[in-house]
């Protein structure tokens, strides 16, 4: 377990989200943005890297991008919009937390529908069992907010610590600022202007 006592109010968090991408093209790549945000909402830096659409390189790509960045020693946690990037490029958040030695937390507006995920994976991927095992390996916790609830999974922290981090980085609405900023930047890069909600 990480030394959560070191997570001060000015700690830096890396929020990660992918850009819009082309479905159905297994050779396609999707841009991914990492927004380095000082709690609660001060943007200090941006990372950009790529992952394969429906590939299997999301975990290693995130770890490599952060490990090679000048922000590595400053980042105290990673927050991700869901457990996959670029379609079904599944992130092993336990492995990512271990490689980076920081907590990793996923946040979604909706509770993951495990039956639908299993059905989609089994239809399109030979290695669907391995992908589904990664998706379903961690509990999904419903977290109440002043608005609608969000659903989080986490590795490298306790449930209470993960919720504390989500609360500290959420300024308006329900989505933490690191994820919201990563979403806005990723959408703007591809579409010319940001669209939609994280």
Give tens-digit pLDDT for 44-77: 999 999 999 999 999 999 999 999 999 999 999 9
Residue numbers of the domain that contains 97: 4-189
Residue whose C-alpha is closest to residue 181's, from 33, 59, 76: 33
Evaluate whether residue 153 is within a structural domain. Answer: yes
For residue 72 the two structure tokens come to 């590595």
pLDDT of residue 5: 43
Kindly indicate the confidence band of residue 20, based on its pLDDT and cuts at 50, 70 and 90. confident
Q: In a 3-state reduction of DSSP, which class is residue 28? A: coil
Evaluate whether residue 198 is within a structural domain. Answer: no
Evaluate whether residue 172 is within a structural domain. Answer: yes
Number of domain units in the chain:
1
d(CA 157, CA 49): 26
d(CA 23, CA 33): 19
d(CA 10, CA 31): 28
What is the CATH classification number for the domain harbouring 26?
3.30.2170.10
Evaluate whether residue 196 is within a structural domain. Answer: no
pLDDT of residue 33: 97
């Amino acid at each position: 377990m990480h030394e959560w006592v070191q997570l001060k109010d000015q700690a830096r968090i890396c929020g990660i989200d992918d850009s819009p991408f082309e479905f159905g093209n297994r050779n396609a790549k999707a841009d991914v943005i990492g927004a380095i945000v000082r709690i609660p909402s001060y943007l200090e830096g941006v990372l950009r890297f790529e992952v394969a659409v429906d590939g299997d390189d999301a975990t290693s790509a995130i770890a490599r991008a952060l490990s090679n960045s000048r922000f590595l020693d400053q980042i105290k946690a990673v927050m991700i919009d869901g457990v996959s990037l670029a379609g079904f490029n599944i992130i092993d958040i336990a492995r990512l937390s271990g490689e980076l030695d920081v907590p990793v937390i996923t946040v979604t507006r909706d509770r993951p529908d495990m039956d639908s995920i299993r059905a989609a994976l089994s239809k399109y991927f030979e290695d669907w069992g391995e992908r589904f095992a990664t998706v379903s390996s961690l509990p999904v916790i419903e977290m109440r907010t002043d608005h609608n609830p969000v659903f989080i999974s986490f590795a490298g922290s306790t449930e209470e610590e993960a919720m504390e981090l989500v609360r500290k980085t959420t300024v308006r609405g329900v989505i933490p600022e690191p994820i919201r900023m990563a979403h806005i930047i990723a959408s703007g890069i591809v579409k010319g202007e940001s669209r939609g909600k994280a």
